[in-house]
Amino acid sequence: MLTRLRTVLAVAMLTVATYAVAVESAGSHPETYVVRKGDTLWDIAARFLKKPWLWPEIWQANPQVANPHLIYPGDVLSLAYLDRVAVEPGPREEAPIGAIPLAEIEPFLKNLRVTDSFEHLPYVVGFEDNRLRAAVGQVAYVKGLEGAQPGQRYAVVRPTVRYALPRTFQDLDPAGRPTAGEGNLWKDYVPPTGRNEFLGYELAQVNVGTVVRVPAGEVTVATLRLDDQGGREVRAGDRLIPVEPQPYDLQFFPHAPAAMPEDVRVLAVADAFSAGGPRDVVALSVGRLDGVDNGTVFSLWRPGRHINDPTRRVRTSRQDDRFTGGDETLPEEYAGHAMVFRTFDKVSYALVMDGVKPVGVGYAARHPDAE
């Protein structure tokens, strides 16, 4: 399913100063702050603000910062809440703090994407020497690459998950069909929602290859040499898509959604059965068509559990996570915050940035200020 991503966000900086109307202080703090190696936007914001995702509104309080993605250890930032104090740049003896260390998240960002369909894509039909699988340096034969040219590079992808609501996701077999027998597996995690909508198929990249021979005459099969050293084995039925030169943003600015979409749910958790925590990746049932872009921050909430009122029924310790039955529904419970880092039409991937409890499949996504 999802590939685990555990990364420490090393974000440029946060400027905290004058705009008292827009920003609430988290308590007393010094008038200035010296940026240190390893500081993150989220951590600094959490230290000095109640709403850290509002940092763009107060950026101009530190006019010496021309680009928030090029802040250096040693830079002095104004933290005066009402009256900005004098500030100065650091010594520039160390490398700037980047927005996010792309070397750490690049494998994940390249390896997953969501599409409406995959049946039309070119696919692997076999391998050299009658192999059952192929890896780096070996050859795969592909059908459906008519018109391709030698030297063109393609990503080999595999459909792994079908996203939809009210059922959050279904694992797919090697042929891209729902896995047989898994129908009852997720019944306890189907969230309460009025949406009945197909959201897309997740395609996981398994390798990358270069076309070395194209179909000619009666031959309808192209030859692809696999060249991804860190890739997985390719099998018959895997699909091909052109390699994207730049599949993700180079910089991220955390911010609240411009308009809060309705009924957003956690569809899946990275490499986990049903729950994950900070630095894990979750898939959300919201995307570009809902106005969500990279950097959008949501708060994640556990739906209220259903219980039997002990004064009306036989006393029981049962708390029903199937979201059905019971006399009473308990309030939702806050779990954490997540930042979107890659979006598709109806699905987005987000990194859980902080939390007080595990984030689970079916949890609701709210405005980051929700209480």
pLDDT at 192 over 70: no
Q: Are 10 and 69 in contact (CB under 8 A)?
A: no
For the chain, domains (ranges, CATH) are 1-99 (no CATH), 109-242 (no CATH), 264-366 (2.40.10)
In 3D space, the residue among 302, 274, 319, 276 whose CA is nearest the CA of residue 366 turns out to be 302
* Cα distance between residue 341 and residue 36, in whole Å: 24
Mean pLDDT, all residues of the chain: 76
Highest mean pLDDT among 52-56, 122-126, 146-150: 122-126
> Taking the model in full, what pTM does it have?
0.73
pLDDT tens for each residue of 33-49:
787 776 665 666 667 76
What pLDDT was estimated at residue 9?
33
pLDDT tens for each residue of 269-294:
877 767 888 878 899 999 999 999 98
pLDDT tens for each residue of 202-247:
998 999 999 999 988 778 899 999 998 888 999 999 999 999 877 7
3-state SS of the chain?
CCCCCCCCCCCCCCCCCCCCCCCCECCCCCCEEECCCCCCHHHHHHHHECCHHHHHHHHHHCCCCCCCCCECCCCEEECCCCCCCCCCCCCCCCCCECCCCHHHHHHHHHHEEEECCCCCCCEEEEEHHHCCEECCCCEEEEECCCCCCCCCEEEEEEEEEEEEECCCEEEECCCCCECCCCCCCCHHHCCCCCCCEEEEEEEEEEEEEEEEECCCCCCCEEEEEECCCCCCCEECCCEEEECCCCCCCCCCCCECCCCCCCCEEEEEECCCCCEECCCCEEEECCCHHHCCCCCEEEEEEECCCEECCCCCCCCCCCCECCCCCCCEECCCEEEEEEEEEEECCCCEEEEEEEECCCEECCCEEECCCCC
What pLDDT was estimated at residue 211?
96
Banded model confidence at residue 93, pLDDT cuts 50, 70, 90: low
Q: In residues, how long is the chain?
A: 371
Provide the token pair at 66. Answer: 């021309």
Banded model confidence at residue 5, pLDDT cuts 50, 70, 90: very low
Banded model confidence at residue 179, pLDDT cuts 50, 70, 90: confident
Of 35 and 124, the structure prediction assigns the larger pLDDT to 124
Of 86 and 8, the structure prediction assigns the larger pLDDT to 86
What pLDDT was estimated at residue 169?
80
Mean pLDDT of 65-90: 61
pLDDT tens for each residue of 361-371:
889 999 988 87
What pLDDT was estimated at residue 292?
95
What pLDDT was estimated at residue 115?
94
CB atoms within 10 A of CB 272: 19
Provide the token pair at 160. Answer: 């792994």
What pLDDT was estimated at residue 118?
94
Supply the Cα-derived Rg of the chain in whole angstroms.
24
